[in-house]
Amino acid sequence: MASVTLEGVKKIYDNKVVAVQEFNLEIKDKEFVVFVGPSGCGKSTTLRMIAGLEDISEGTLKIGDRVVNDVEPKDRDIAMVFQNYALYPHISVYENMAFSLRIRKMDNEEIHRRVCQAAEILGITQYLARKPKALSGGQRQRVAIGRAIVREPAVFLMDEPLSNLDAKLRNQMRAEIILLRKRIDTTFIYVTHDQTEAMTLGDRIVIMKDGFIQQVGTPQEVFDTPRNLFVAGFIGSPQMNFLKAKLVRTGDKYAVELLGTSVALEDAKCKKLLEKNVQTKEVIMGVRPEHTVVRFDGSDNAIESTISVNEMMGSELHLHVNTIAGDRVILRLPTIDLTDEQRAQLSYGNKLYFSFASKVVHLFDPETEESLLF
């Protein structure tokens, strides 16, 4: 049980490539933190620095109160689950799980107790005598986790542990990790490129891009108030729609104008904008598909568009439409209340109208790509 603190951590490889920089983060004891970002963003490198598998070029890393920059991985009191499981193929599942304990010359009975306990938690007791080769992907994943559990580490590191599983198994294992976390209450650091995993698992999410932290916050925070264009686009599925718009200031009031409609912003937003003293300017407006309202007729303030793709998801429809200005927008439409006529109207080339409430609008500066509302 320990906190993890990173201060100004930087990683430069031998070939002068900077993988991670200005990494400041304090992970509290027993917190579940997820590093998320596209591949090559430095999230795995950061994790490996915490594990001690990569040297830290600059900055300090503390686990608990101890600076561990130059401490060997084995002395950091951590355990790690690898993407490819890293199971030793020549020994049984039992011995795989007992490996680190045996290295530490732990008493045989204690090893047995811990291994059995971990196996029970993960439901792999009946496979203990097998070799890893004789297990399925999900079972191997469990063994890899089990190997980490028996260590009873202060910090639990997981490097894309689910990315080698198929979609169904991944959902199942995700749920199990949530359960697991409840049973072994310790600090978790979890790396993934999948925003769904990040949202569902993390107490806090660290979104990274090109070696920099973009935003740190709870899932709700990063979803509701993305700090910049990247975070806004990365979190949420389907992706947030971005439209060119004009922010108009009239006194202390603001409104967004686009495609002939104008939406007045509510007070909270106006206050934020006022604080920054934003004048009338071109902006990028973001609206999540789930926040749009589809209309079949062009009433006032609705934006006209043409349907290009109609994706049937079962409970809802994802409609890809083009506005007159050429912006591509995704709309979400629940199927449950649709009439047959409406369904018929939702085919390629037909006109469709949509609108949105001012509450759900995100505004970004086109130059800096920073959020104007943060």
Partner 1 sequence: MNDLDFLRLSKPQKLLHKLKTAILGIPGKLLGSLKGLVMWFVNLFKGIGHFLADLVMTYVRGDWKTKISYTVMGFGSMARGQWLRGVMFFVFQTLFNMYLFMPILKISESREPLCGLNVVTLLANLGTVETAKKGRVTVYGDNSFLILLYGVLTLFLIVAFLYTWYVNVKQNKISEQILKSGKKLKTAKDDMASMLDSQFHKTLLAIPTAGVTMFTILPIIFMILVAFTNYDNQHQPPQKLFTWVGFENFQTLLSAESNDLGVDITDKGNGTVTLTITAKDGDIITVDTTDVAAAQAADALAVDSSAEFSFETIGTNAETGKDNYRLTFTGDAGEPVTLEATSWLYVSTPSFSHTFKQVLLWTLIWAFFATFLNYFLGMLVAIMINKKGIKFKKMWRTILVMTIAIPQFISLLYVSKMFAADGLINGMLMNWGWITEPLPFWTNANWARVTIIGINVWIGIPYLMLIATGILMNIPADLYESARIDGANAFQTYMKITLPYMLFVTGPYLLTSFTGNINNFNVIFLLSGGKPLGMDLAGNAGNTDLLITWLYKMTVTDSNYKLAAVMGILVFVVCAVINLVVYNFIPSVKNEEDFQ
Summarize as ranges the residues that interact with partner 1 (CB under 8 A).
51-53, 72-75, 78-80, 82-84, 86, 88-92, 94-95, 99-100, 103-104, 108-109, 111-112, 115-116, 125, 128-129, 131, 133-134, 147, 151
CB of 149 to partner 1, least distance (A): 13
Q: Cβ closer to partner 1: 78 or 302? A: 78
Query: Residue 37 to residues 6, 28, 155, 192, 237: CA-CA distances in angstroms?
Result: 18, 21, 21, 7, 14
Contact (CB, 8 A) for 161 and 141: yes
CB of 79 to partner 1, least distance (A): 7
Q: Cβ closer to partner 1: 103 or 179? A: 103
Q: Cβ closer to partner 1: 57 or 83? A: 83
Q: Cβ closer to partner 1: 13 or 264? A: 13
> For residues 356 and 256, what is the distance between their CA atoms, to the nearest angstrom?
11
CB of 25 to partner 1, least distance (A): 21
CB of 38 to partner 1, least distance (A): 22
Residue 85 CA, distance from chain mean position:
21
Output Rg (C-alpha) for the chain, integer angstroms.
25
CB of 91 to partner 1, least distance (A): 7
Q: Cβ closer to partner 1: 87 or 321? A: 87
Q: Helices (H) and strands (E) in the chain — how many of each?
A: 10, 20
Q: What residues contact residue 65 under an 8 Å CB cut-off, 6+ apart?
A: none
> For residues 231 and 315, what is the distance between their CA atoms, to the nearest angstrom?
27
Tokens, residue 129? 């005598």
> For residues 95 and 102, what is the distance between their CA atoms, to the nearest angstrom?
9
Closest CA to 261 of 325, 306, 307: 325
CB of 72 to partner 1, least distance (A): 8
Cβ of 118: how many Cβ atoms within 10 Å? 24
Q: Cβ closer to partner 1: 18 or 86? A: 86
